Chain A
Amino acid sequence: MSQWEVVIGIETHAQLATVSKIFSGASTAFGAEPNTQACAVDLALPGVLPVLNRKAVDCAIRFGLAIGAEVAAKSVFARKNYFYPDLPKGYQISQFELPVVVGGAITVQVGSGDKAYEKTINLTRAHLEEDAGKSLHEDFHGKSGIDLNRAGTPLLEIVTEPDMRSSDEAVAYARALHALVRWIGICDGNMQEGSFRCDANVSVRRPGQPFGTRREIKNLNSFRFLKEAIDFEVQWQINEIEEGRKIQQATVLFDPDSGETRTMRTKEDAHDYRYFPDPDLLPLVISRDWMARVRSELPELPGQMRQRFVEQLGLSAYDATTLTASQEIAEFFESTVKIAGAANAKPCANWVMVDLAARLNKEGKELAESPVSAAQLGGLILRIADNTLSNNIAKKVFEALWNGEGASADEVIEKQGLKQITDSGAIEKLVDEVLAANPGNVAEYKAGKEKAFNALVGQVMKAAKGKANPQQVNDLLKAKLAG
């Protein structure tokens, strides 16, 4: 099969976490009764005027600073004109020629393990705009219902360069962006409620050739759909071209049930939006003071934290990336390390990323709902580090903490008598008993069967109720069998 290169750019609409709408004082809370959160401005009554919510601008500035972009000293709101029943004014207020954020980049980790690699995705721009309402086509007996609660909700539309070369890269970018907007507190990231939705511009070409014609897949509201939609679309485009057809520029929708994309409209029926600067709004001027204020409120960013984890805690790049995937994980990890000590950062990372993550996953819980706190986990790791617990017993203590059987690892160890036996005299006594009771195994071992040794170790551990220090058991057994 001949080689094809996939080219993907992504546009994301992130709903900004403001209390009120971008141009009115109405609430942005999700899930209210239809049209109860739409004021005169949102309904586009005659005579009303928009007033910019400066909190939405704060969010845009935060984002611009977080991705190292230029925050425009002056940007302009424009009207995008089209008719649709859920667009009350007959135009959407957006930014067109002069957006508030220009450039910037996000570095993402693609894949895992040996195949993992880093990739920097460049951003074209991010601009502020208002959301439309919703058309409801069910339950109205041949009519359509309009809910304008969402009309005027602030959005940041974030546009990348066509820098991604696979659906994996696209998903890695979308995940990183999703984590970032939540990290800096500008978007709740709730994809079910539509707070974070992606459009993917997809084309294919022969390596070294100019870009192919792109098709835009609209409104992908999960990472899985994003991947499935791109994979289907890429294969479809390759087939089309290989069968001698040309790709027509189009907007397509992804149907998660069939796993296919289908054309919504082609370039021929594209709207002429007749953009022009909104005369009701002055140009948005962002002063240095405003920028400085927002900068001073920014938390440590995931990239900076990731670097710190690698340089100061000695974590691998992969671990550091995983632990900075969200602010919740990062905070949990840092709190764990605070108790367990920086010297134990690696076991802390493993416990958070592997053991705790698996347990949470099993119960379908979020990190925030973890019954084991970071402090408890840190305490547990301390007891592993000082040899009070073997790894196996540590897992029991973890389980006990999960089930609320003690306030701390120390309390569980004390109550349940789980302290590791490190007294070599006590271990030697157990070893002697086991050797005496299992002459068969001893004979097999001496005949060269390594497996018999493991059986003996198991017997000793069993006799010690798992509490004997495994290293000591090993050493003593070997010494006795050799003797």
Chain B
Amino acid sequence: MAEPGPRLPMNMINASLKELSQALAAKQVSSVELTTLFLDRIDRLNPQINAFVTVDRDKSLKAAAAADARIAAGQFGPLTGIPLAQKDIFCAEGWRTTCGSKMLENFVAPYDATVVRKLEGEAGMVSLGKTNMDEFAMGSSNENSYFGAVKNPWALDRVPGGSSGGSAAAVAARLAPIATGTDTGGSIRQPAAMCGLTGLKPTYGVVSRYGMIAYASSLDQGGPMGRSAEDCALLLNAMAGFDERDSTSLERPAEDYARDLDKPLAGLRVGLPKEFFAAGCDAGVMAAVQGAIRELEKLGATMVEVSLPNSHLSVPAYYVIAPAEASSNLSRYDGVRYGYRAPEYGNLDDMYMKTRAQGFGAEVKRRILVGAYVLSHGYYDAYYLQAQRIRRLIANDFVAAFNECDVILGPTAPSTAFRIGEKSSDPVQMYLSDIYTIAVNLAGLPGMALPCGFADGLPVGLQLIGNYFAEARLLNVAHRFQQATDWHTQQPEGIA
């Protein structure tokens, strides 16, 4: 590994985006140097962690050199030259974009996702590579990747969570200062919680889905995964915004998500849903969450009990709606135009069947089957329409709760990172890992995970849920909490 040279003023692998930005602007470090530092760490540590599925040193260094040129020319923004890891769900021109699937093992995207265009093309960030993930974002442990399980940097025999497990592990292991993730039922927040990171799923429609490979279109939302709320706010500033290529993207004036970071929390009403504090959550997780509550009270917040009476229906409703949409979204992987095609087949139907049987993993197939079933004639009303009704009830629960409070607080996941293989034979146990996060996607609300302690040496994630477009408020609460605590600065031992 190339040690940071003497002219580097700080420990770059632990520097915040703001510090990196200042160092780049002051020319204390170049983007090429920073990029090389992280690429060298990836070379050295990725074989243990398996966080990246694609790294292209030449491409990254070329982008870094371009960023340095922009900085030299004085044409740069706050993120220019800062490296990041891109979840392999975002199409990036010239990069292999696999979505964790054999189906797209050799698919090189011919275009940039809007998120990639904004972060790399416009903001001038440098991609270090594409991160591992559960196949087509379906999973809560990253064990469903065609490219193998990702190891949690805090304990290599444990999962990092999923589906954005590669991004989470990359940032936790300091293989990247920050990463992109996507969250359909908890895929940013749950791995952030399990890897001791801060992650934000924005309000549905805030970040463009164009070029983000669809799992469940009405739930998918991209967002930042970093080491602090401040870093997440800075990344979100560059990621968010209306996109005419995404009809579900929201046409709103641009906002500075970092504007309220330092706002005092006095008078903040924090809602504690009684359903999140009932049985079903590990004691160690609950103890850390209770500690966070006391910390916020010290910062001036008051706690109010609220209720989300339909939250117990969120997992079943999700596992109707998401597979329904997925079954249709994944129909395009048919072996006709791109991607995997079975090497041998008889007629057309045989080509479809063999291609999809061989190209998709077990969990993806399970969800396609469930989805096709719930949409089929005679079952549509009982499943799909019923789930949509539940979805409205869940959203209404939140509307009512936000009459009583400003943000909602609870655990992100019911347990800390579990062992690799521990839940892989029991899909329902695995699905329950997202019990606290899924309702947020169904309602389209913004949600955050941030570190709030440890249980048996493993990070515990606190979840904050905001009203629509309350990202800045969530980031404010998280930032003040992080100013008062140091959970987010903890680093996994053994990864250096």
Binding site for B on A (CB under 8 A): 40, 43-52, 79, 81, 83, 85, 88-91, 146, 272, 274-276, 279-282
Q: Are B332 and A90 in contact (CB under 8 A)?
A: yes
Q: Are A51 and B332 in contact (CB under 8 A)?
A: no
Query: Taking CB as reference atom, which chain A residue is nearest B373?
Result: A274
Q: Are A48 and B338 in contact (CB under 8 A)?
A: no
22 residue pairs bridging A and B, Cβ less than 8 Å apart: A40-B110, A43-B337, A46-B109, A47-B209, A47-B210, A50-B247, A51-B245, A51-B247, A81-B328, A83-B331, A85-B348, A88-B332, A89-B331, A90-B328, A90-B330, A90-B334, A146-B336, A272-B376, A272-B377, A276-B324, A276-B328, A279-B248
The interface-forming segment of B10-18, B25-33, B211-219, B274-282 is: B211-219
In the complex, chain A residues whose CB is within 8 Å of the CB of B109:
45-47
In the complex, chain B residues whose CB is within 8 Å of the CB of A282:
247-248
Residues facing A in B286-345 (CB within 8 A) are: 324-325, 327-328, 330-332, 334, 336-338
In the complex, chain B residues whose CB is within 8 Å of the CB of A48:
210-211
CA distance A282 to B111 in the complex (A): 24
Query: Taking CB as reference atom, which chain B residue is nearest A282?
Result: B247
CA distance A49 to B377 in the complex (A): 26
B168 within 8 A of A: no
Residues facing A in B208-242 (CB within 8 A) are: 209-214, 216-218
B380 within 8 A of A: yes
In the complex, chain B residues whose CB is within 8 Å of the CB of A44:
332, 337
CA distance A43 to B332 in the complex (A): 9
Q: Are B210 and A46 in contact (CB under 8 A)?
A: no
Query: Taking CB as reference atom, which chain A residue is nearest B385?
Result: A276
CA distance A279 to B377 in the complex (A): 19
Q: Are B337 and A46 in contact (CB under 8 A)?
A: no
Q: Are B328 and A274 in contact (CB under 8 A)?
A: yes
Given contacts A91-B331, A272-B377, A280-B247, contact A45 B210 (CB under 8 A): no
Most B C-beta atoms less than 10 A away, residue of A51, A88, A146, A274: A274
Most A C-beta atoms less than 10 A away, residue of B104, B213, B247: B247
CA distance A143 to B373 in the complex (A): 32
> How far apart are B115's CB and chain A's nearest CB, in angstroms?
10
In the complex, chain B residues whose CB is within 8 Å of the CB of A90:
328, 330-332, 334
Please count how many residues in chain B sit with their CB below 8 Å of the partner chain's CB atoms: 43
> How far apart are A57's CB and chain B's nearest CB, in angstroms?
13
A-B contact count (CB 8 A): 98
Query: Taking CB as reference atom, which chain A residue is nearest B218?
Result: A279
B437 within 8 A of A: no
In the complex, chain B residues whose CB is within 8 Å of the CB of A279:
216-218, 248, 325
Beyond the given A274-B380, A280-B248, please list 15 additional residue pairs across the A-B interface where CB-CB is below 8 A.
A40-B111, A43-B337, A46-B91, A46-B213, A47-B91, A47-B211, A49-B209, A50-B247, A83-B352, A88-B332, A90-B330, A274-B376, A274-B377, A280-B247, A281-B247
> How far apart are A244's CB and chain B's nearest CB, in angstroms?
32
In the complex, chain A residues whose CB is within 8 Å of the CB of B255:
none
B384 within 8 A of A: yes
CA distance A83 to B330 in the complex (A): 11
B404 within 8 A of A: no
CA distance A48 to B245 in the complex (A): 8
In the complex, chain A residues whose CB is within 8 Å of the CB of B218:
279
B113 within 8 A of A: yes
In the complex, chain A residues whose CB is within 8 Å of the CB of B324:
276
Which 4 pairs from chain A and chain B are nearest by CB? Answer: A90-B331, A279-B218, A279-B217, A274-B375
> How far apart are B162's CB and chain A's nearest CB, in angstroms?
19
CA distance A48 to B91 in the complex (A): 9
Q: Are B97 and A274 in contact (CB under 8 A)?
A: no
Q: Are B110 and A45 in contact (CB under 8 A)?
A: yes
The secondary-structure label for the interface of chain A is loop
Q: Are B336 and A276 in contact (CB under 8 A)?
A: no
In the complex, chain A residues whose CB is within 8 Å of the CB of B104:
46
CA distance A112 to B209 in the complex (A): 58
CA distance A279 to B184 in the complex (A): 14
Query: Taking CB as reference atom, which chain B residue is nearest A44?
Result: B332
Encoded as 1 (CB less than 8 Å from any A CB) or 0, chain B from 94 to 117 comes to: 000101000010010111010000
Q: Are B99 and A46 in contact (CB under 8 A)?
A: yes
Query: Taking CB as reference atom, which chain B residue is nearest A86?
Result: B336
CA distance A128 to B209 in the complex (A): 24
In the complex, chain B residues whose CB is within 8 Å of the CB of A85:
334, 336, 348
In the complex, chain B residues whose CB is within 8 Å of the CB of A274:
327-328, 372, 375-377, 380
CA distance A359 to B217 in the complex (A): 60
> How far apart are B356's CB and chain A's nearest CB, in angstroms?
9
> How far apart are A54's CB and chain B's nearest CB, in angstroms?
12
B350 within 8 A of A: no
B422 within 8 A of A: no
Contact among B107, B247, B331 for A49, CB-based, below 8 A: B247
Most B C-beta atoms less than 10 A away, residue of A48, A83, A279, A282: A279
Contact among A45, A49, A146 for B246, CB-based, below 8 A: A49
CA distance A214 to B462 in the complex (A): 62
> How far apart are B367's CB and chain A's nearest CB, in angstroms?
14
Query: Taking CB as reference atom, which chain A residue is nearest B220?
Result: A279
B244 within 8 A of A: yes
Most A C-beta atoms less than 10 A away, residue of B90, B332, B377: B332
In the complex, chain B residues whose CB is within 8 Å of the CB of A88:
332, 336-337
> How far apart are B491's CB and chain A's nearest CB, in angstroms?
34
CA distance A280 to B109 in the complex (A): 21
> How far apart are B165's CB and chain A's nearest CB, in angstroms?
20
Q: Are B213 and A47 in contact (CB under 8 A)?
A: yes
In the complex, chain A residues whose CB is within 8 Å of the CB of B246:
49, 51
Query: Taking CB as reference atom, which chain A residue is nearest B388?
Result: A277
In the complex, chain B residues whose CB is within 8 Å of the CB of A46:
91, 97, 99, 104, 107, 109, 213-214, 332
CA distance A282 to B247 in the complex (A): 7
> How far apart are A145's CB and chain B's nearest CB, in angstroms?
11
Q: Are B111 and A49 in contact (CB under 8 A)?
A: no
> How far apart are B365's CB and chain A's nearest CB, in angstroms?
15
In the complex, chain A residues whose CB is within 8 Å of the CB of B332:
44, 46, 88-90
CA distance A274 to B213 in the complex (A): 22
Contact among A43, A52, A280 for B217, CB-based, below 8 A: A280
> How far apart are B7's CB and chain A's nearest CB, in angstroms?
41
Query: Taking CB as reference atom, which chain B residue is nearest A84?
Result: B348
CA distance A44 to B91 in the complex (A): 13
Given contacts A46-B332, A52-B247, A91-B328, contact A276 B380 (CB under 8 A): yes
Q: Are B244 and A51 in contact (CB under 8 A)?
A: yes
Given contacts A47-B91, A276-B384, contact A83 B247 (CB under 8 A): no
In the complex, chain A residues whose CB is within 8 Å of the CB of B376:
272, 274
Query: Taking CB as reference atom, which chain B residue is nearest A148?
Result: B337
CA distance A45 to B339 in the complex (A): 10
CA distance A83 to B353 in the complex (A): 11
CA distance A52 to B244 in the complex (A): 10
CA distance A344 to B216 in the complex (A): 68
CA distance A51 to B247 in the complex (A): 6
Residues facing A in B357-402 (CB within 8 A) are: 372, 375-377, 380, 384
CA distance A45 to B99 in the complex (A): 13
Q: Are A81 and B331 in contact (CB under 8 A)?
A: yes
CA distance A88 to B452 in the complex (A): 47
In the complex, chain A residues whose CB is within 8 Å of the CB of B334:
83, 85, 90
CA distance A9 to B111 in the complex (A): 45
CA distance A45 to B104 in the complex (A): 11
In the complex, chain A residues whose CB is within 8 Å of the CB of B247:
49-52, 280-282
In the complex, chain A residues whose CB is within 8 Å of the CB of B214:
46-47, 280
Residues facing A in B135-181 (CB within 8 A) are: none
CA distance A177 to B324 in the complex (A): 38
Query: Taking CB as reference atom, which chain B residue is nearest A24?
Result: B245
CA distance A473 to B154 in the complex (A): 117
Most A C-beta atoms less than 10 A away, residue of B110, B213, B218, B337: B337
Query: Taking CB as reference atom, which chain B residue is nearest A281?
Result: B247
Q: Are A45 and B111 in contact (CB under 8 A)?
A: yes
> How far apart are A186's CB and chain B's nearest CB, in angstroms?
23
Most A C-beta atoms less than 10 A away, residue of B218, B328, B338: B328
In the complex, chain B residues whose CB is within 8 Å of the CB of A280:
214, 217, 247-248
